[in-house]
Structure 1
Amino acid sequence: MSAQAGGPLSLSHRFEDGARLGSLLWEFGPGWRMISSAMLGGGVGRREWVLNAQVTSDYSRMDPVDHLLAMGPVGPGVGMLTAAMVERYTRAADGGVEAVATVGLRVPTWAASPEGRPDPVLRGGAPGPFAARPGTINIIVAVPVAFSDAALVNAVMTVTEAKTQALAEAGFFCTGTASDAVCVAVRDDGPEELFGGPRSEWGARIARAVHRAVLDGAEGWRRYASSADGH
């Protein structure tokens, strides 16, 4: 079994809205199935690439899916947006699993908040279509084996739990930001793993890889934010 879970990962830049913005493209190719919370290519299905594109912190376009499609390659894929600096991505591996994270913690938040309390990440404190700023902690995970649908859902839970553990260990008392996104890619062939929880064989590897990538990203963001206005 190859220790390389996904395909090539490439970083590029574009000029948009008066800023130099990074785009991180992970090209998997055919033979992969993904589960994602992203706007483009979200849900469960066969996908061939994942794009994590940086936008400005005041991003207000009402056509984010079309925007992502224009930036991504041809074919089915997953597209995420983030206000974090994409070139500061972190990467970790464990037992054949690979995790890539872009971490920005300008507005950390708790998942459960009292009803009616405005969240600073929402414009005007009022939720609505695309009211939330683009996700600032995006996580992509590649696993070189097949998963059942239930194991895929379990893997997303594992990713989220490992992310929150890393944030707490880094000294950020939050569960993330209000619009984080996740994508887990698994092989589309071979025997399906039935479990993706943190004590299963592959779930444990996912947890460790995500934990390392997010912990490195959170600590890196703290260093960056201490000398600049980070996102």
Structure 2
Amino acid sequence: MVNVPELRVHEKALAWNVPPGWRALSSAAVGGGLTEPAWVVNVDVGGGFARTDLSGWAGEVAARLGLTGEGCALLTAADVTQVETAEADGVVAWSTVGVTRPTWALDPRDPVEDPPRPGTVNIVVAVPAPLSTSALVQAVGTITEAKAQVLVQAGVPGTGTASDAVVVLSPAPAADEVVFAGVRSPWGQRIARAVHASVAAGLASHPWPADDVDPTVVW
């Protein structure tokens, strides 16, 4: 079995060193898209983060954490030290869950008011199988569906938040590349189980609704 990246917990930051030859498909604010990152970070920036030079900010964070090269950077206002980890047959998922402002994909407000304040669900998933590019895309869909399933099952009025992000990591394609990672494929089911468990654990630690949230407000 291929060894997956290991998590290192820092003050206000989570970091993963990504092995050479691994790829990422990500919606990260920095280093998103299809890349070969040297690292991934998930950083607690608090609720008042106002910087717009995100690449420069990410470089400063990487330097502080002793990381070199290019990587993926996720931002959150959640306490990253409360990251939840789950494993399913080799797939590992790490989730930081802050659902203070759950959001439906289609905004039910008419007219649309100010954008909702973010409460972020960030998910990093490592798959020890060489996923094809298409399978990476399928994996992102599987991760998102598993996260949404947790929230709906818990009665949260939304399928996520306005600032959720995901990173899925896997070894580069090889002759035996995996071409399916949808919800009913073998690897997709492993991904779904790991993500569902980690998000559910995170939500249990930060139940909906939070003390300072009006649960009657629909975003």
How does the TM-score come out when normalised to structure 2? 0.88
Q: Distance in 2 between matches of 1:140 and 1:110?
A: 22
Cα distance change on mapping 1:64 and 1:8 into 2, 3 Å: same
Stretches of structure 1 lacking an aligned partner (at least 5 in a row)? 14-21, 123-132
Contact 1:169 1:215 in 2 (8 A): no
User: RMSD in angstroms over aligned alpha carbons?
Assistant: 1.9
Q: Does 1:76 align with 2:70?
A: yes
Cα distance change on mapping 1:25 and 1:68 into 2, 3 Å: same
Q: Does 1:23 align with 2:13?
A: yes
Tell me the residue number matched to 1:196. 181
Tell me the residue number matched to 2:51. 61
Deviation of 1:156 (Å): 0.4
Deviation of 1:196 (Å): 1.1
Cα distance change on mapping 1:199 and 1:136 into 2, 3 Å: same
Q: Distance in 2 between matches of 1:59 and 1:158?
A: 30
Map Cα deviations across residues 18-66 of structure 1 (whole Å, 9 max, x no partner): xxxx100011221210000012110002112110000111211111221
Stretches of structure 2 lacking an aligned partner (at least 5 in a row)? 214-219
Corresponding residue to 1:102 among 90, 96, 99: 96
Corresponding residue to 2:41 among 27, 38, 51: 51
Deviation of 1:11 (Å): 1.1
Tell me the residue number matched to 1:39. 29
Within a 5 Å distance, the mapping from 1:155-174 to structure 2 comes to: 155-174=139-158
- Name the SS of the counterpart of 1:47 in structure 2: coil
Identity of aligned residues (%): 43
Contact 1:31 1:189 in 2 (8 A): no
Within a 5 Å distance, the mapping from 1:93-132 to structure 2 comes to: 93-114=87-108, 116-121=111-116
Tell me the residue number matched to 1:90. 84
Report how many aligned residue pairs link the two structures. Answer: 207
